[in-house]
Amino acid sequence: MKTYQTKEIRNISLLGNAGAGKTTLAEAMLFNGGVIERRGSIDQKNTVSDYNPVEHEQGNSVFSSVLYAEFNQHKINIIDNPGLDDFSGQAVASLNPADTGLIVLNAQNGVEVGAEIHFRHAQAANIPVFFVINGLDHEKTNFEKTIETIREKFGNAAVIVQFPVNEGDLFDSVIDVLMMKMYRYGKDGDKTEIADIPEEFKERADELHNELVEKAAENDEALMELFFEKDSLDEDEMRKGIKEGLLQRSLFPIFCTSAKKNVGIGRLMEFITNVAPSPDEMPAPVNSKDEEVKCDPAGPVSLFVFKTSIEEHVGEVNFFKVLSGEVKEGMDLINTNTSAKERVSQLFVTAGKKKDKVSSMVAGDIGATVKLKSTKTNHTLNAPGQDWTMSPISFPEPRHRTAIKAKNEGDDEKLGEVLQRFHDEDPTIQIEYSKELKQILIHGLGEHHLNILKWHLDNIFKIDVEFITPKIPYRETITRVAQATYRHKKQSGGAGQFGEVHLVIEPYKAGAPDPAVYKVNGKEIKVSVRDKQEQDLPWGGKLIFYNCIVGGSIDARFLPAILKGIMEKMEEGPLTGSYARDIRVAVYDGKMHPVDSNEISFKLAGRNAFSMAFKNAGPKIMEPIYEVNVWVPADRMGDVMSDLQGRRAIVMGMSSEKGFEKISAKVPLAEMNKYSTSLSSLTGGRAMYTMKFSEYAQVPGEIQEELLKAYAAEQEGE
């Protein structure tokens, strides 16, 4: 393959709902672009894009696939994305190198939830978008209804460029109101006849042409003046106006296709090469030094890695976009995230698992390389002397979690390695080794997302695992003052153990003065603070430790041991074994033995005195509360509200956003298990949500009782 120049490159991300036909469209584009000689199909499980065994089994894309086609003296880089929201991290990553998003719509169903979600992601990435109404050969297709839903969801910026002549089983022709011609396609799209528009469609075509001209003129003052002067625009002027509209996101062209029959694909690709922006026409990204990185083939070499995959017999494959300069085989670059030197020994363009070697690639192009030592997704590779990085891709936050356990303990190490590999390939899968919960937690975008991971563990890596309901990271604290005395005494023939500790505990409150007197059970305990240690606890909250010993009743050298004993109990709270937090402890008296006192004695005395006092200090269990935002269609609002209330949610507010109702609520984490599945079931997959940790709050009394009983039973069982 020749080295394509920046102006000859187009970077396209295929977006839309599962089942819209993105993979079939990609297959047709590769066929028309000469990359493949025969088109595969989803049913026959032989498409270039869906080559992973799990995709064959599921019948849907699970991973994004990087492809290319050569057409009209241009190279079109195509990223085919899964449509399910559980895999939206793949689509978000693809929008980083893309310069245009093609939102593919199923002509039977119109705008589905996946299209809405992907449109929002494209909006956040600020890239141009146009719509492709696909499947117009289906007997239940409804072009007019689809146009209605597009404009209902995305506004009047969506403008028709093509409409079908004979939608349904016999679909083979479209009228293009940009070219003002009818395109008729032969069987399997092998021949294209360009003809004048039949008289019966002329009036509608003129009307839509004028609408397109007006929309194109609106994006450029000079074009607007020409339009007022001539009452029209020529083909080149319209293309210029449409491109400006695309770049400003004020115009969303609509095209018609049947990817299955290869109808309309050539004209779509022609439009992409003629009108869609080249990489150097897009706004330049800004690096970590707030400098624009211009898409300049003559600039210093810079690559950004937007995707990493691990392939059998190949190893790690890094997919990148050339931000600047020209990268060549054998070039040495610096990974500015790790400061490691990397040699780009080979360069490839890819079509699914097929890799074609190239000798060089220029700014704006998308490619792949292998055998880099320490480069992952979101890393920047620069020519020596360029020490900046690019902002990382902001992936969707995980919304679903589960605990995972290898059924065979001998597989634990292998499981850890495979889970890390999955995180490297898909950063929306996050792995957490929780010392507190004594569980391995995996976080993802939904239950289906994590079930795909389990499929790979079961079928590819042959690790027998089970998913377990994850424990909740509760916290324990106190509500009032309490005092305790504990004497540890042990005699075993030789030197014994002896330590006695008197202490008072109380809730920590920010800004409260140091203690001088405590009132406990009707008695006053006066203290004199000699030393104060304030500890920010790793799990949140504080422990304040006061040394109030006077008269040498406990030697200063034993105070660290007492604090250590208290900290041990803070790490395994007296109520449920959860972390304790926000407590002040004052050690004010005690006793020593000249021979038998030692550090272990005072550690145990401090630990047990703290535990006794804790249980008498109005202990309470705190639970993590999450801020949950749910975007839901208005017709499903009641069902979603009822479900949230059943999860002990406190609704904080409601508003409307772009055709959706937004519910903001605070919900206990304990009630969010498998919420993604429930929400999908309630709304037919049309809702989405985010969740973010907010605070800890006291659990209701009846739930605290249940937790205490469960912990007691667990301890008894052990």
User: pLDDT tens digits for 431-455?
Assistant: 999 988 999 999 999 899 999 999 9
Average pLDDT over residues 575-580: 92
Question: What share of the chain in percent tops pLDDT 70?
Answer: 98
State both tokens at 531.
């030393």
Question: Are 649 and 667 contacting, i.e. CB atoms less than 8 angstroms apart?
Answer: yes
The C-alpha atoms of residue 74 and residue 130 are separated, in whole angstroms, by 19
Q: Indicate if the pLDDT at residue 494 is higher than 80.
A: no
List 174's β-bridge partners, or say none.
164, 183
The pLDDT value recorded for residue 226 is 67
* CATH number for the domain formed by residue range(s) 476-618: 3.30.230.10
Question: Are 328 and 303 contacting, i.e. CB atoms less than 8 angstroms apart?
Answer: no
pLDDT in tens, 341-361: 999 999 999 998 899 999 999
Residues contacting residue 454 through CB under 8 Å, at least 6 positions apart: 404, 465, 467
The C-alpha atoms of residue 450 and residue 676 are separated, in whole angstroms, by 12
Instruction: Give, in degrees to the nearest 5, the angle at Cα 631 between 625 and 636.
Output: 110
Average pLDDT over residues 289-298: 96
DSSP 3-state percent helix, strand, coil across the chain (nearest 5): 30, 35, 35
Query: How high is the mean pLDDT of the chain?
Result: 92
Instruction: Out of 3.40.50.450, 3.30.70.240, 3.30.590.10, 3.40.50.970, select the CATH number for domain 622-703.
Output: 3.30.70.240
pLDDT band at 227 (very low <50, low <70, confident <90, very high): low
Ordered DSSP codes for 430-458: EEEEETTTTEEEEEESSHHHHHHHHHHHH
- Residue among 104, 132, 157, 96 at smallest CA distance from 279: 96
Q: Indicate if the pLDDT at residue 283 is higher than 80.
A: yes
The C-alpha atoms of residue 175 and residue 528 are separated, in whole angstroms, by 91
Full strand arrangement of the beta sheet holding 583-591? 482-490, 497-507, 583-591, 542-547, 531-536
State both tokens at 203.
């009036």
Question: What share of the chain in percent tops pLDDT 90?
Answer: 77
pLDDT band at 30 (very low <50, low <70, confident <90, very high): very high
The pLDDT value recorded for residue 685 is 79
**Residue 360 is inside which H or E element, if any?**
strand 360-362
State both tokens at 10.
């187009």
| Domain positions in the chain | 6-281, 302-382, 400-471, 476-618, 622-703
Q: Indicate if the pLDDT at residue 220 is higher than 80.
A: no
The pLDDT value recorded for residue 228 is 66
- Residue among 452, 445, 432 at smallest CA distance from 399: 445
Q: Find the farthest-apart pair of alpha carbons in the chain and give their distance in angstroms, rounded.
A: 113
- Relative to beta strand 583-591, strand 542-547 is parallel
DSSP 292: B
The C-alpha atoms of residue 692 and residue 22 are separated, in whole angstroms, by 32
Rounded to 5 degrees, what are φ and ψ at 479? -120, -10
The C-alpha atoms of residue 405 and residue 681 are separated, in whole angstroms, by 28
- Relative to beta strand 660-668, strand 583-591 is unpaired
Average pLDDT over residues 260-270: 95
Superfamily of domain 6-281: P-loop containing nucleotide triphosphate hydrolases (3.40.50.300)
The C-alpha atoms of residue 95 and residue 123 are separated, in whole angstroms, by 10
- Answer with the residue of higher pLDDT: 323 or 1: 323
pLDDT in tens, 9-28: 999 999 999 989 999 999 99
Question: Are 95 and 68 contacting, i.e. CB atoms less than 8 angstroms apart?
Answer: no
State both tokens at 550.
């006077």
pLDDT band at 239 (very low <50, low <70, confident <90, very high): confident
The C-alpha atoms of residue 4 and residue 356 are separated, in whole angstroms, by 14
Ordered DSSP codes for 568-617: HHHHS-TTTSPEE-SEEEEEEEEE--TTT--HHHHHHHHHHHHHHHHHTS
State both tokens at 126.
């600020």
State both tokens at 182.
């009818």
The C-alpha atoms of residue 539 and residue 571 are separated, in whole angstroms, by 9
SS3 468: strand
The C-alpha atoms of residue 124 and residue 118 are separated, in whole angstroms, by 10
List 77's β-bridge partners, or say none.
11, 68
Instruction: Out of 3.30.1180.10, 2.40.30.10, 3.40.50.1950, 3.90.1310.10, select the CATH number for domain 302-382.
Output: 2.40.30.10
Question: Are 68 and 80 contacting, i.e. CB atoms less than 8 angstroms apart?
Answer: no
Q: Do the domains at 400-471 and 622-703 have one common CATH topology? A: yes
**Could you give the count of Cα atoms lying within 13 Å of 52 in the half-sphere of its Cβ?**
20
State both tokens at 58.
């599921």
Annotation: CATH topology of 400-471: Alpha-Beta Plaits (3.30.70)
Q: What is the sign of the dihedral through the CA atoms of 424, 428, 431 and 435?
A: positive
Residues contacting residue 450 through CB under 8 Å, at least 6 positions apart: 400, 402, 429, 442, 444, 467
pLDDT in tens, 142-152: 999 999 999 98
The C-alpha atoms of residue 615 and residue 479 are separated, in whole angstroms, by 11
